[in-house]
Structures are given as C-alpha cells and as structure tokens.
Structure 1
Amino acid sequence: MAIKHLRVAFASQYQPGQPARMQAGAPLQEPGGDYEMLHKQMKRLFNSKPGKKYGRFSEDIGENPFSAWLKDYLEDKQTFASLTDRLFGQWQELLNGAQEEFSGHLMLVHEALADGEVAYLLILESDSALRFDGNQALDSTDVLSLSRLNLAVRIELDDWLSGNTSENYLTLVHGRGTGEAGELFIRLCGFTNQVDVEKETLTFLDAVEAFAKSSEPEEAGKVRARAYEFCKEQHALGEPVEISALSGYLDESQPERFREFASQTAEMPESGVLHPDHRKVKKLVRIAGSGGGMSVSFSSDLVNQAVYYDRDKDALTITRLPKALREQLQRYLEDRND
C-alpha cells in the first residue's frame, strides 16, 4: 500500500442556520508512517462493514461536481491541492444549510496499489478520552475513533476511467443513524445506486443451491460450504463476487462448470459480478430461526444426522447436544426439582 496524496479538513456545524466552520490541513504527498497506519485501519473498517452499496457517479455534474474535479486532477489539469480546496469548499456549503449539528474530519486519500489505483473519501469520527494535563488535573480531549466508520466511499479509479458501462466503480458505506450528514455526504460524492443487493443476493443463493442439488448428494454440502467461504473471503477483502472466479473455486478440475450452469439457470448480470450480502449468504451453511421465546441455529450438515425434522408433527429432534447446553439444562432441571 502506498498513499500518493492525502488531505484532511475538520468541519463543524454547531448552530444550524449559521455558517459552518472549516479548517483544512496541508495537502500531503506520500506521507507514509502514521498516515499509512491510520488509512490501513480505516480500510479494515470499510471492508468489514455490512450492507455496503454499489454504484457510479451521478451524470448531473452541476449538482455533483466532485467527479469532474477528480477527473481533472487525474489528468493533471489541476493539482491535488486545488481538487481538495474545491471539495472542502463544497462540503462547507452543504453544511451551511444543514439543520442538524455536525462535526468530523473529511479525508481524501489517493492510493496506488499493485493492481491499480483507488481513492477513498471518508468521514473520520472522534471519541472522548480523559487525560491529565501539565498540572496533573483531569481533562477531557477528543481522539480519532479507530473502531467506527459510518460514512465513506471508495472509487475504483481504473474501472471508472476505463469507461466500461457495466462496471459499478463506487462502493459506499452509509451507516444507520448518520441522518442529514449522511445524505449530504452522498450528495458530496455524487453517488447513484446502480445495484440491487437484495436481488443479487437471491440470485447468488438460487444459483448455488441449484448447482448443489445438481451435484452428487455427498458433494452438495461441500459446494454450499465452499461458496460461503468464497463469499466471506471476498467480503473481508471488500470485493464483490466474480462468477468465473467462484466457478474455479468450486471445482478446480472443471473451473467453468458452475459459471456455465449459472448462466443457464439464473439471471446473471452482464458484468459477471454479483454483490451478495454475506450475512444472508450464511443461509447456505446454517439453518436458523427465532420466535416465541426460542432461538435455534445449527449447521445445515447436521440435518438428518444430529437434527431431525418431522413435518407431520412439526417437531424438531436434536441429538448430540453441545456440552454447554446439556449442562445448562441439567442445572436448570435440578434447581427446579429442588
């Protein structure tokens, strides 16, 4: 990982109706050190965030000029300092009209990776911490939060500039509870949603389930498990699921078999890329449900081995109970009898 350029500005709006305050730092080129460590942690939080959205820049440059400014910078038509001056200025204008209080650091990072270049635009949050001052009196201070990231966007610069109309080169983190600031951040990015994650999750699940059922019975469970493992690994990397790569992962001896099967049995996107929600993909390997004071979860491999379901009686029989559960039940029954 190598940061080419980075710049941060602190913005605050404590009195709605009044001008927002903006204090920008100097633009940094290849800052290294602590900045690399901070960015690495923010990327880790970004990749681990569930419920990300995928899309592109809005074509309305008048309302959303960030993409035009960014393109001018990448084509050496303006400096990184000029780009960020404009970006921070627009963020201040958006906050001027905000009706809710806000404070936070806006950070733009241009990063060069081995397989291409990306840019991140993030809102860094703060935590309150206690310290002793020079007179050994207790004082409070604000420190950057290294455990929260609720507003951020990643731009796959190579995919964007390639002009491939099937690519969704923006990945957005838009956490719940961000309120008005979250909507203003989306406007600042110029993000438009192009991917129905729920639909693509169902497409993924249906394709894998159909493929598993078409396999030999003893292989079906392995297919589901490997598909879930692949999806989980991609989520950890912050990457979508490429059907061709998944196909090779499911069957190394016949790497095209799943891709060809899926293209015939499911409505696959033209790009050959899906963005399933890894939380829902877990259904491939676990069966779970809750309600009426009960919560049950177990591996799907245990069906008809340690877990038996009687459809006629709508009854579930569980054998080989986990040790901790068995001990809790025994203690409960003993206490109740006493």
Structure 2
Amino acid sequence: MAIKHLRTAFASQYQPGQPARLVAGEALQEPGGDYEALHKQMKRLFNSKPGKKYGRFSDDIGEGPFSAWLKDYLEEKQTFAAMTDRLFGQWQELLNGSQEEFDGHLMVVHDALADSEVVYLFILETDGAMRFDGSQKLDSTDVLSLSRLNLAVRIELDEWRNENTSDNYMTVVHARGTGDPGELFLRLCAFTNSVDVEKETMTFLDAVEAFAKSSEPEKAGEVRAKAYEFCKDQHALGEPVAIEALSNYLDESQPERFKEFASKNAEMPETGVLHPDHRKVKKLVRIAGSGGGMSVSFSSDLVNQAVYYDRDKDALTITRLPKALREQLQRYLEARED
C-alpha cells in the first residue's frame, strides 16, 4: 500500500445558520510514515463497519460535481490540490446549510494498491484527552479517534473508469446518528445507492440454504459453516461475495457446482457478486432469539444433538449445559433455597 496523495481540512459549524469555518492543510504527495499508519487504521475501521451501502456516482453533475473534479484530476487536467480545493469549498458550502452542529476533519486519500487504485474520503472524529503542559499544569486537548468511523466513502477507480464491469464502485459508511451532516456528506460524495443489501442478503441465505439441503445430510452443516466463514472473511477485507469464488471455496473438487445451482435456483445479479449483511448471514450457523426476559443463542449444529425442539408443546429442551451456565443456575437455586 502507498499513499499517492493526501490532504485534510478541518471544518466546524457551531451555530446553524451561520457560515461554517474551514481550514485546509497542505496537499501531500507520498507522505509515508504516520500518515500511512493513520490511513491503515481508518481502512481497518472502514472494512469492519457493518451495514455499508454500495452504489455509484449520481448522474446529476450539477448537484454532485465531485465525479467531474475527480475525473479531471485523474486525467491530469488539474492537480490534486486543485481538486481538493473545490471539494473542501463545496463541503463548507454544504455545512453552511446544516441544521446541526458539526466539527471534524475531512481526509482525502488517493491510495495505490498492488493491483488497483482507490480514493477514500474519511470524516475523522476526535476524542477528549487530558495532559500536563510544559509547566506541569493540567490541560485538556482533542486527539484523533482511532476507534470510531461513522462517515466515509471508498471509490474503486478502475471499476469506475470501466463502468461496464460494475455499477457498484462506491462503498459508503453512513452510520446511524450522523444526522444532517451525514446526509450532507452523501451529497458531497454525489453517492447514489444502487444495491438493495436486504434483498441480496436474502438471496444469499436462500441460495446457500437450498444448496445445503440438496447436499448429503452429513455435509449440510459443513456447507452452511463454510459459506458463513467465507462471507465473514470477505467482510473483514471490505469486499463483497463473488459467487464464483464462493463456489470454489464450498467444493474445490467441483468448483462450479454451487455457482450452477445458484443460477438455476436463485435470482443472481448479472455481475455474479452479492453484498450480504454478514450479521444476518450468521443465521446459517446460529439460531437465536430474545423476548419476554429471555435470550437464547446456540449453534445450529446442536439441533437434535444437545438442543431439542418439541413443536407440539412449543418447548425447547437443552442438554449438555455450558459449565458457566450450570454453575450460575446452581448458585441461584442455592441462594433461593437459603
């Protein structure tokens, strides 16, 4: 990984209705060192965030000109500094209309990977910290948060420039609770959502479950576990699930088997790529539910082995209790008896 260009700007809007303040830093070329470390941590947070959105640039260049500015920069019609000047200017204008207070650092990174290039936009947040100053007086200060990331976008440049290969070259982190600034950030990025994650999650689950049921009974559990493992690994990498790669992972001896089965039994996208929510894919390997003061969760492999469900009585019988649970129950009953 190598950063080609990086630039940051601090923006603040403390009085809605009043002009926002913005201070831009210098445009850096191959900054290395601490900047690489910061970027690596932000990428780690980006990849691990659940509930990401996938899509493309808006066709309305007038409303969202970022794609035009980025295109000019990549074609060397303007410098990185000029492009980010425009981007920062638009961010300040958008914040002028914000109905909520905001402060944060906008960091733009052009990242060159081994086989591709990407551009990131991060909103870096801060945490309060205490320190002793040079005269040993206690002082408060703000430091960058290395554990929170609620607004960010990644643009796969190669896929964007070859739109015939993908219509989902933008990945967005847009966490709940970001309010008006979060919506303004999406406008800044000129993002249009083109993937129904909920639908693709159900497509993924239905295809894997049907494939597992069509397999030999003793291998059904293994199919579900491997599908979940693959999906979880892709999530950790910040990547979607390619059906062809998953098919090969599920059965190396017959790598096309799942792919062919899924194409006949499920509505697969033409791209051959799904964006399932890895949290919901966990249903393949775990059964869980809560309500009425009760919360139950166990591996699906334990059904009819250590967990038995009686449909007629709507009763669940659990054997081979975990040691910690058994000890808690014993202590509780002993205390009640005393």
User: TM-score range, shorter-chain basis?
Assistant: over 0.9
How many angstroms does 1:166 deviate by?
Answer: 3.8
Cα distance in 2 for partners of 1:322, 1:28 equals 55
Cα distance in 2 for partners of 1:165, 1:19 equals 42
Cα distance in 1 for partners of 2:286, 2:125 equals 35
Aligned CA-pair RMSD = 0.7
The list of structure 1 runs, each at least 4 consecutive aligned residues, that deviate by more than 6 angstroms after superposition, is none
Offset from partner CA, 1:58-82 (integer Å, 9 cap, x none): 0000000000000100011100000
Asked whether the equivalents of residues 55 and 169 of structure 2 are also in contact (C-alpha less than 8 Å), the reply is yes
Cα distance in 1 for partners of 2:163, 2:199 equals 25
Cα distance in 2 for partners of 1:90, 1:273 equals 34
Counterpart for residue 259 of structure 1: 259
Identical positions, percent: 85
In the superposition, the TM-score normalised over structure 2's length comes to 0.99
Counterpart for residue 116 of structure 1: 116
Aligned-partner SS, 1:76: coil
Counterpart for residue 75 of structure 2: 75
Counterpart for residue 66 of structure 2: 66
Aligned-partner SS, 1:78: coil
Cα distance in 1 for partners of 2:9, 2:166 equals 34
| Amino acid paired to 1:100 | E
Counterpart for residue 229 of structure 2: 229
Cα distance in 1 for partners of 2:149, 2:109 equals 15
Cα distance in 2 for partners of 1:164, 1:150 equals 30
Counterpart for residue 297 of structure 1: 297
Counterpart for residue 282 of structure 2: 282
| Amino acid paired to 1:121 | L
How many angstroms does 1:99 deviate by?
Answer: 1.7
How many angstroms does 1:289 deviate by?
Answer: 0.5
Cα distance in 2 for partners of 1:165, 1:258 equals 22
Cα distance in 2 for partners of 1:47, 1:166 equals 20
Higher mean displacement: 13-22 or 240-249: 13-22
Aligned-partner SS, 1:330: helix
Quick check: 1:316 aligned with 2:313?
no
Counterpart for residue 172 of structure 1: 172
In the superposition, the TM-score normalised over structure 1's length comes to 0.99
Aligned-partner SS, 2:269: coil
How many angstroms does 1:165 deviate by?
Answer: 6.0
Quick check: 1:186 aligned with 2:186?
yes
Asked whether the equivalents of residues 166 and 270 of structure 1 are also in contact (C-alpha less than 8 Å), the reply is no
Cα distance in 2 for partners of 1:276, 1:138 equals 49
Asked whether the equivalents of residues 167 and 194 of structure 2 are also in contact (C-alpha less than 8 Å), the reply is no
Q: Give the number of aligned pairs.
A: 338
Cα distance in 2 for partners of 1:238, 1:166 equals 16
Cα distance in 1 for partners of 2:91, 2:196 equals 28
Counterpart for residue 26 of structure 1: 26
